[in-house]
Structure 1
Amino acid sequence: MGHRDDLLQGAKRLLARKGYAHITARDLVAESGTNLASIGYHFGSKEALLNAAVLDSFDEWDGEIERAIDARPGDAPADRLEAFLDGVVRGVAANRAVAMASVQAFAQFEYAPELREQLAAAYGRARREIAALLLERDDVDDETARQLGSLALATVNGLVLQWLVDPDSAPSAADLAAALRRLGQPDTD
């Protein structure tokens, strides 16, 4: 690995141990075995490096989530959503510190326009990818991607926060899928 990769991997390890807000540039250098100049050369700033590490960590969760969904080919979209959310819950449970660091990073986008742009781009890609996964097809139109992908992402964001705050009372993937199915049923009262 080169300095860039060393810094990125070191930042991800530190995010898991210390959280976003408590990492210094010196921590990054010590953890990665690089030097202070490398941070500026490869990322521009400590914050840009941490943002890259958070975004890269999201990609690592994607594999677990895709495995959960791919195990259910041919299922109805609500069932695939349940599998998707189950993958999210397992990801949060296995990577609580990274999930917490990502929440801290989200709080920074108001002061970091480049992070806001990166997150907006990541959300745009995620909406389309999630809608395609849930519908089990590649040809998802823009409106479907926006609507279905946004619903899934809103559910994910709320679910992650509930699991971080109170995992014992947080809903399961099955709970949320059952609630969505219930919304689709006629009111019998």
Structure 2
Amino acid sequence: MGHREQLLEGAKRCIMERGYAHTTARHIVAASGANLASIGYHFGSKEALLREALIEMTQDWVDLWRVAVPTHAADPLEGFEKTWAQVVESFAENRPLLAANFEALTCAEHAPDLRERLSDALESAAAPDGLANLLGVEGALDEESARAVGRLYLTLLQGLMAQWLISPDLVSVTDLTDGLRVLLRQPPIHRRGGHPRPEREVLGTASSANNG
């Protein structure tokens, strides 16, 4: 492994352990075994090195969502719930990487090159062969449908990650799935401390709330 690769790996380790804002050039040198001069030679500055490390880390996180997708579920929303429950369970072991993803979004506000690279990564995740393929959609989809599902999944993923980083208790895939059931005019199947209410009662409650 050359100095450039050593520096990138050291920078990634520092971002995971210390965060982007608290990583210094000396931290990277200590973690990589390279020297200060090599940072300038290969990247021009510490900031450019950290941005490159963030880009690679952001591209890598898509590989985390290779979950065991349920197939032939009697209820498609049941399959959705099981799949996304696995995704959320993976957050705990990948917390530093999730945090780095959001640090990258913040840094991109003042770094056009980083914003462009992140845009490419997000576009790839939302593409028909991205998250829609990784997280599984039963049945063949045309390209536009797969792209729409990919964008929905990307939005869900980023929203769930943000909520989980703040407070894991905020995240409930069960509530998310039941919310979809209500929007699809189906009765929720989960009720805390009770049985599911009849569809007419659920929809009547929602209608009353909307008219109030």
Match in the other structure for 2:115: 116
Structure 2 counterpart of 1:150: 151
In structure 1, the gaps of 5 or more residues are none
Q: Give 1:64 deviation, angstroms.
A: 3.6
In the alignment, which residue of structure 2 is the partner of 1:62?
62
* Residue of structure 2 in register with 1:185 after alignment: 185
Counterpart-to-counterpart distance in 2, 1:178 and 1:154: 18
Cα 1:3/1:77, change in 2 over 3 Å? farther
Matches of 2:54 and 2:15, distance apart in 1 = 8
Of 113, 134, 137 in structure 2, the residue corresponding to residue 135 of structure 1 is 137
Assess if the C-alpha contact under 8 Å between 2:125 and 2:150 holds in 1. yes
Aligned length: 185
Q: Residues 19-168 of structure 1: matches in 2 within 5 Å?
A: 19-69=19-69, 72-75=70-73, 78-79=77-78, 81-128=80-127, 129-133=130-134, 134-135=136-137, 140-141=142-143, 143-167=144-168
- The answer (yes or no) to whether the contact 1:126–1:149 under 8 Å persists in 2 is yes
1:5 paired residue number: 5
Range with bigger deviation, 92-101 or 152-161: 92-101
Q: TM-score, normalised by structure 2?
A: 0.73
Relative contact order, CA 8 A, sep 6+: which one is greater? 1
Q: Tell me the TM-score normalised to structure 1 length.
A: 0.81
Q: Structure 1 43/177 Cα, relative in aligned 2: closer, same or farther at 3 Å?
A: farther
* Rg comparison, structure with higher value: 2
Mark the runs of 5 or more structure 2 residues left unpaired by the alignment. Answer: 187-201, 205-212
Give the root-mean-square deviation of aligned CA atoms. 2.7
